[in-house]
Structure 1
Amino acid sequence: MIAVRDSMPMKMRCTVGRWIESNGVRLWCETRGNPADPAILLVMGLGAQGTAWPDDLCEMLRAGGHYVVRYDNRDTGLSGRVDYEARPYTLTDLADDASGLLDGLDIKTAHIVGASMGGMIAQEIALEHPERVRTLTAVMSAAVAIDPKTGTFRGSERDPRLLEWDARQAADPPATEEQQIQARVDLARILTGSLTPFDETATRQVIAREFARGGDMAHTMRNHILAVMASRDRSELVGSITAPTLVIHGTEDPMAPFEQGRALAAAIPGSVLVPIEGMGHTMPTPVLPLIASAVLQHTNRADL
């Protein structure tokens, strides 16, 4: 069950958006809740903005007694853009961005929760900045590197539907905003598991809002893909992570297959794996209470 604490004044519940200079990049972030509560830093994945963390999930975590921070990674949303050719970066650099963001918010330690590529960044935070991490939660993520030839995690096969989607993008790259939105809608359809039916209208609206907020999405995707490809394999490194670790993974994830979540949990001593039957590479509304409950139980144990 989710422990809800709603005794704080209404003004404490309000969200506050701001920009923080971190690691040479201007990062947009949003905070909600009481700064005196233990912080949760939400790290989003490849090409996705911080606002992709559902409002309902953020509110559940706040109501559970946390100061919730979500932010746009570099090259994403309202955060600063980088010329990758002139200034290449990896997931380790994105972890340094997150650490600098915590500095800017005067947060010494935080519960780090990352989704997809954000889960990889979260691992790098735990490896490079262990003193900042109260707990680690990786959602639909992996420790192994991506094979640049196949575009999938080493040890897994690329889902045929994703191979077909990749081929369509390569043969006829989307040029206009509408074409880019349609490509993202098509991808979201593939990534949705059987747990919930795919809602094309709602998905299109969300993606369109993201485009309106984030500008050049092609730039974002290109740079994030390059950063992931240039990053190290962490499968032999995550065993040194000492922060209490939770791994949440859908059993029908076509992007980061379930065996990757299982391998990540097995590689980190003492970690806990929470499988979600029928979830793909998305966080549909019906599972948000389950995810929030698992995260709150995990963080609350560490905060005792």
Structure 2
Amino acid sequence: MERWVESNGIRLWCETLGDPADPAILLVMGLGAQGTSWPDDLCDMLRAGGRRVIRYDNRDTGLSGSVDYATRPYTLTDLADDAIGLLDGLGVKAAHVVGASMGGMIAQEIALEHPARVRTLTAVMSAAAAVDPQTGTFRGSERDPRLVAWDTRQATDPPTTDDQRIQSRIDLARILSGSLASFDEAATRRIIEREAARAGDMAHSMRNHILAVMASRDRSDLIGSITAPTLVIHGTEDPMAPFDQGRALAAAIPGGVLMPIEGMGHTLPAPALPRIAAAILRHTSEPDA
């Protein structure tokens, strides 16, 4: 069921799947990405496993409200507050929080700032370290040369038409894909075109989210205080958030568990979805279940 919820002064689009009486899983998507970027198959697996699935568009993405960052700047902590307001609007006292990429960073902020609202935490292809504004990557890691080349093309020859912007995103998706699954350009194009039609100004989403990430705190020395049981899922071929970032995240959270996925990049590829869903269902099961 689709609906809009007023949260933290922002109108957020969300979709709920499954029985409202089941334990809630809040899916938090990443930089510039929409809630619908969570694969339908993954959502269906979680729902079939007895979970109420909630996916939503962060502010400045998809069908949710947008802001002028210059006059209303925000950080990942504000996006965490948005998520809490969404749970309030849905009448959810506490949820299992699952975040991907920047969404995993938001999920950490939720666990830090609102620990009573987080039953478990799952971070997928994410990190605790701040992003270095000089290199565009997480502190402690080096920028993948393929991403450096893509960045350079965006700066020296930026796309000016819709077709060029879509092709640029396809090129980025290819870099992020990893070797676990062969890259399907036609399917990727369909997904990007669908998202572009749904979102409107996707450049606005990316720009504002990048500014929010840059303005946010480094959580490396803070996440040791997270008390929620934590699972970290990370691909061994992630060029955006290198695997060492996932390993460091899991090691820094007391009791954190790292689940590597060989060959996965900075994506949620179809071959990995059954394993990811099964891991999340195990992680979110009650101790006596």
- 1:85 paired with 2:32, answer no
SS in 1 for 2:285: helix
| CA–CA separation in structure 2 for the residues paired with 1:296 and 1:244 | 13
CA distance in 2, matches of 1:125, 1:173: 35
Pair 1:231-2:192 in alignment? no
Does 2:135 match 1:179?
no
Q: Are residues 1:73 and 2:54 paired?
A: no
CA distance in 2, matches of 1:105, 1:211: 27
1:301, distance to aligned residue in structure 2 (A): 4.1
- Kindly report structure 1 stretches of 4+ aligned residues shifted beyond 3 Å: 301-304
Note the C-alpha offset of 1:303.
7.2
SS in 2 for 1:300: coil
1:256-271 superposed matches below 5 A: 256-271=241-256
Change beyond 3 A, Cα 1:243–1:57: same
- Cα deviation for residue 296 of structure 1 reads 0.4
Q: Does 1:95 align with 2:80?
A: yes
Question: Is the aligned partner of 1:21 residue 2:6?
Answer: yes
Distance in 1 (CA, whole Å) between partners of 2:264 and 2:36 is 20
Q: Give the superposition deviation at 1:282.
A: 0.3
* Structure 2 counterpart of 1:13: none
**What percent of counterpart residues are identical?**
80
Alpha-carbon distance in 2 for matches of 1:92, 1:235: 15
Q: Aligned partner of 1:195: which letter?
A: L
SS state of the match for residue 13, structure 2? strand
Match of 2:90 among 96, 105, 120: 105
RMSD: 0.7
The residue aligned with 1:153 is 138
In 1, Cα distance between the equivalents of 2:177 and 2:192?
Answer: 15
Matches within 5 A, 1:111-260: 111-260=96-245
2:275 to 290, 296, 301: 290
- Residue-by-residue CA offset, 1:242-299 (whole Å, 9 max, x unaligned): 0000000000000000000000000000011000000000011111000000000000
**SS where residue 127 of structure 2 aligns?**
coil
The Cα shift of 1:302 comes to 5.0
Change in 2 beyond 3 A, CA 1:117/1:302: farther
Q: CA deviation at 1:17?
A: 0.3
Q: How far does the alpha carbon of each residue in 1:180-201 deviate from its partner, in whole angstroms, 9 at most, with x for none?
A: 1111000000001011111000
CA distance in 1, matches of 2:110, 2:287: 18
Q: Scaled by the length of structure 1, what TM-score is found? A: 0.94
Partner of 2:261: 276
Contact 1:134-1:302 at 8 Å conserved across structures: no
**Structure 1: distance between partners of 2:205 and 2:149:** 22
Structure 1: runs of 5+ lacking an equivalent: 1-15
Residue-by-residue CA offset, 1:50-94 (whole Å, 9 max, x unaligned): 000000000100110111000000000000011000000000000
8 A Cα contact 1:244 1:302, kept in partner: no
Gaps of 5+ in 2: none
- Number of positions where the alignment pairs a residue of Structure 1 with one of Structure 2: 289
Residue number among 40, 43, 54 corresponding to 1:55 in the alignment: 40
| SS of aligned partner of 2:251 | helix
Deviations 1:212-256 (A, max 9, x none): 000000100000000000000000000000000000000000000
Equivalent residue of 2:213, what SS?
helix
1:39 equivalenced with 2:24 (yes/no): yes
The alignment partner of 1:232 has SS state of: coil
Counterpart of 2:262, as a letter, is E
Q: AA paired with 2:11?
A: R
In 2, distance between residues paired with 1:90 and 1:176?
30
Distance 1:242 1:205 in 2: 40
